[in-house]
A and B are shown apart, each in its own frame.
Chain A
Amino acid sequence: MKKLMIGNEGVARGMYEAGMKFISSYPGTPSTEITEFASKFDEIYSEWAPNEKVACESAFGASLRGVRAACAMKHVGLNVAADPLFTLSYTGVNGGLVICVADDPAMHSSQNEQDSRHYAIASKIPMLEPSDSQEAKDFTKLAFDLSEEYDTPVLLRMCTRISHSQSIVELGERKEIPVPAYERDPKKFIMTPANAIVRHPIVEERTKKFIEFAEKTPINRVDEGGKDIGIICAGTCYQYVKEVLGDSVSVLKLGMVNPLPIQKIKGFAATVKRLIVVEELDGVIETHCKCLGLEVEGKNLFSPLGEYNQETIREVFNKEIEKLDVKLPEIPVRPPVMCAGCPHRGLYYELVKNKVTVLGDIGCYTLGAAPPLNALDSTLCMGASVSGLHGFNKAGGEETESKSACVIGDSTFMHSGITGLVNVAYNGSNSTVIVLDNSITGMTGHQQNPLTGYNIKGDPAGKVDLEALCKAIGINRVTVVDPYDLKACGKAIKEEIAAKEPSVIISRRPCVLLKYVKANPPLKVNEDKCVGCRSCMKLGCPAISIRDDKAVIDNTLCVGCEVCSQLCGPKAIEKEAE
């Protein structure tokens, strides 16, 4: 049976067919759907872990017990999971272990465009890279086989275009893998120096064996074509090269991007007049070719920035197509915005009104950095708002402590905000940490987390008591506010940043996009009362605009949160029924 599916679903299907029994992940665009699709199979135990390190270590545990296991994350998630990754290379596996990592060239939804292939090289772990959904499925299955045959975790590298593009996949049957009895193997799994020193040469030998594999595996293949130009590529770049150049060039398509073959590349280079590597982000394959002493081109022609497409190839090979010539006025950008009725908006409004310096974090609420709120001073990585604020206040002393705060979402707080808060309490900075608790992981499309009380399948699960957790850490001042109540938010912010001890404000209201959240009737503007003062426009609500100097509310967007009506001096914003 054939089915059109995104690359991430292809990976999940591959996991299912490979007899995998366990997946633990933390959501992150563009990797999230791998785990969401895997969770639809009853044969696979699936979960959202608090962060990628926990997910990777849980998958390790499942492998130790002898079942095929996986974890999936975005590229920056692998930074968090890097600690177990490097030593997993030494221990190897019992059941096959696959670590999926999805890069985001062009930063569609990320804070940097790091190239995960460097992790494969640095940790000496083999890495496969599919170029469509069929390969996503096939390579996932191969990754499990290789993992067990060579006793190593295997990295599967995805990127936004492969993860989120649908192509046709031929479905296969699931093959159940018997689970062996558990047997202790301390020399392999207890990585004390005495044991690890014995494992390291095994890793080096394994890499040599993988290079031999890379020489003969059919996933590293040559598409014969013209001999004037030979192109080496992998993943999505293969599609762009074939689209534009077809059979006019010869192509060495690499399905395995670490380790790279030696003889295969040298042999291919010998058959062509000009050798070019086409790879997004860093010149990893190109550097390898240069180490082999080959005359090769790559980053002299192609940028290390952003995503490629067929136009990138056309420009370099002078094959540009005719384009439409329409002279248009400047088109305003349409950036993503916080939704109408977003609970973060009211809290942000009060922070801005009180001129608070705000260190931000990763999530929907990062959108508070955009005009007209311009609420944030920094956004670095998951959890950095809390630890960053601590350092900011230790360096700034009383001068900054009385006018600063940080904001972090519920899921991000669980991911890596807790340890920062421990540092605030332990080393005593008078910092105010605001947890924006909208009871869901929002930006990645509504995943459950340890604060929601539900698991990946939507069934009731353990629920962390946030107030009790903060108190146990040593924070005595913990206040809960409703972000739709501007007065209460303003009061809490003023009191807590003035306090001479660490404090936490929990701004709690569920995301308006959650199915169980019922919208109120839309509000409307009484034109006779509206004086066109634009106070309501300071909120940046997409439902409110100005027409003929009067505010207008779009009744298809408004959910009746009444934050704007609290700002309206002449009380012109009214409930529809009145």
Chain B
Amino acid sequence: MKTTNVMIVGVGGQGSLLASKILGRLLVDEGFDVKVSEVHGMSQRGGSVVTYVRFGDKVYSPVIVDGEADVIVSFEKLEAARYIKCLRKDGRIIVNSQQIDPMPVITGAAEYPEDVLEVIKKAGVQVDDIDALELARQAGSVKAVNIVLMGRLAKYFDISYDKWLEAVEKCVDPKFLEMNKKAFDIGYNS
């Protein structure tokens, strides 16, 4: 089996680490060889963060480079544009339509390009954009954006809903399990 490449991109503090933990857990339980890679450190301070998840029979490199990603899950619009070059030609990108201004935009040194998703769609890329922040709010917490997006990603995977839910259960804080299950379901079915 060919190696499948999934990228999770976003802004430090958005919870992409938990998302990759769920995905990694699921794939190990399914019996795949798996590598998950992210860079810690400076990126935790509101910087751009990227996580690579690769699985298949045998995975060598822990990273994904330009033109390789089968799916990108972007927690923020601008980050979708930043990493779109990593997508392969007929790949798919799931985008949370939330906008988080980076410091150069806040200080006025740069402008937030408003129409990036339109440009990406016009180039023929399969874009699935959802308002994950609003959906997370409906589930009970704005912090569940990551779980909403995992629910959405699950739609495009050949792994059952129940198996996904099991992985969510194993990875989230039991105190927030019911809310997270709801967030996953909303992401999956919206």
Contacts and interface: CB of A to CB of B under 8 A. Distances in A.
Contacts of B108: 537, 546
Contacts of B25: 4
Output the residue of B42, B89, B116 with the most chain A CB within 10 A. Answer: B42
B70 interface: no
A371 B113 CA distance: 20
A311 B86 CA distance: 11
B78 A332 contact: yes
Interface string B32-50: 0111111111111111100
Nearest to B27: A4
Contacts of B36: 4, 165-167
Contacts of A328: 81, 84, 113, 116, 119-120
A309 B68 CA distance: 12
Contact of A370 (B38, B103, B123): B103
B21 to A, nearest CB: 9
Interface residues of A, number: 58
Nearest to B82: A331
A105 B187 CA distance: 38
Contacts of B142: 556
A322 B61 contact: no
A335 B103 contact: yes
A333 interface: yes
Nearest to B65: A311
A81 interface: no
B95 to A, nearest CB: 13
B101 interface: yes
Nearest to A160: B39
Interface stretch (A213-221, A239-247, A375-383, A418-426): A239-247
A65 B181 CA distance: 52
B29 to A, nearest CB: 10
Interface stretch (A92-100, A298-306, A336-344, A392-400): A336-344
Interface in B78-109: 78-79, 81-82, 84-85, 87-89, 91, 101-109
B140 interface: no
Given A167-B35, A310-B65, A325-B123, A445 B109 contact: no
Contact of B78 (A164, A326, A334): A334
Contact of A336 (B44, B59, B68, B125): B44
Given A164-B39, A164-B40, A336 B45 contact: yes
Contacts of A371: 103-104, 107, 109
B62 A165 contact: yes
Contacts of A556: 142
Interface of A (DSSP majority class): loop
A205 B34 CA distance: 43
A338 B45 contact: yes
The DSSP consensus for interface residues of chain B is mixed
A183 interface: no
Residue among B24, B39, B78 with the most chain A CB within 10 A?
A: B39
Interface string B149-188: 0000000000000000000000000000000000000000
B63 A167 contact: no
Nearest to B112: A332
Given A240-B60, A310-B65, A332 B105 contact: yes
Contacts of B44: 336, 445
Contact of A331 (B35, B65, B78): B78
Contact of A4 (B24, B48, B78, B111): B24
A44 B78 CA distance: 45
Of B41, B59, B112, B125, the most chain A CB neighbours within 10 A belong to: B41
A232 to B, nearest CB: 17
A243 B35 CA distance: 13
B15 interface: no
Interface residues of B, number: 59
B28 A4 contact: yes
B84 A337 contact: no
Contacts of B37: 161, 164-166
Contacts of A309: 61, 63, 65
B30 interface: no
A61 to B, nearest CB: 30
B40 A324 contact: no
A248 B41 CA distance: 37
Contacts of A310: 61, 63, 65, 68
Contact of B89 (A324, A329, A336): A324
Nearest to B39: A108
A324 B61 contact: no
A336 B46 contact: yes
Contacts of B59: 167
A367 interface: yes
B57 to A, nearest CB: 13
Interface in A226-283: 236, 239-240, 242-243
Given A332-B111, A336-B44, A239 B34 contact: no
A29 B81 CA distance: 28
Contacts of A518: none
A334 B40 CA distance: 15
A483 interface: no
B11 interface: yes
Contact of B40 (A30, A168, A329, A537): A30
A544 B36 CA distance: 34
A567 interface: no
19 contacts: A109-B39, A109-B42, A165-B37, A168-B33, A243-B61, A310-B61, A321-B67, A324-B123, A328-B81, A328-B116, A328-B120, A332-B112, A333-B104, A335-B47, A372-B107, A443-B41, A443-B42, A540-B103, A542-B46
Interface of B: 11-12, 24-25, 28, 33-48, 59-63, 65-68, 78-79, 81-82, 84-85, 87-89, 91, 101-113, 116, 119-120, 123, 125, 142
